[in-house]
Homo-oligomer: A and B are copies of this chain.
Amino acid sequence: MAHQAPRRNRLNRDRVLRAAVALADQRSDVPTMRTLAQELGVVPMALYKHVANKEDLVDGMIDLVFGEVAFPTGADWKTAMRQRAISMRQALLRHRWAVGLMEARMRPGPADLRHHNAVLACLREAGFSFQTAVHAYSALDSYIYGFALQEKTFPFTTPEESGEAVETMLAMQPPSVAQEYPYLVEVALELGKSGYDYAVEFQVGLDLLLDSIDQLRPQWRSAAS
């Protein structure tokens, strides 16, 4: 009797999680248990042998994303943290569904914990006090996650694309908006011309923050690095 379709590899937690991430990437949203099961050629309830429930599934997916983010390394804390921030943004671009879920885990996975430990290690060893390290980390992650949140909504890959999008959006408005929201229209017009480069914009804000954070380090240290 037609034994069970082409005899798939046995399911296990890792295979379930990786399939879930792949599906989420492709539809930019966490898949439902039912579509995930279908993708794996299995009945929905089969998944519950490998994940406790949907939240446990998301926990596992997010830890896979954390595993892709580079630790801050190198002698100079600033460039180390800079590269780490850029690596985080890139991971969030590859996995847009993860934005808004990364920092919301009640049960952080091992990759999550390792990453946070590595970031704190970088800051503490660069001379930041416990308090200022917390300030620095909090400010940087707020910025990174918030930027990713805004980027998620307007997924333009090139400045040209974003410029056009702004221009057509502007063209759709009734003529009254020019009088009601003059500054908004000005920005829209300028952005329509120049385009909006997310990668550049991200680094501008990031560098503003990093420069300020540098001031939090004990000033009696030598200015080297």
Report which A residues bind B (CB closer than 8 A): 100, 103-104, 106, 113-114, 116-117, 120-121, 124, 130-131, 133-135, 138-139, 141-147, 149-150, 152-153, 177, 180-184, 186-187, 190-191, 194, 196, 201, 204-205, 208-209, 211-213, 215-216
Contact = CB atoms under 8 A, between A and B. Distances in A.
A186 B124 CA distance: 10
A220 to B, nearest CB: 20
B139 A150 contact: no
Contacts of A117: 180-184
> Copy number of this protein in the oligomer?
2
28 contacts: A100-B149, A103-B150, A103-B153, A104-B149, A104-B152, A113-B177, A113-B180, A113-B181, A114-B180, A114-B181, A116-B181, A120-B184, A120-B186, A121-B182, A134-B191, A138-B150, A138-B201, A138-B205, A141-B150, A142-B142, A142-B143, A142-B146, A142-B147, A142-B205, A146-B146, A205-B209, A208-B212, A212-B212
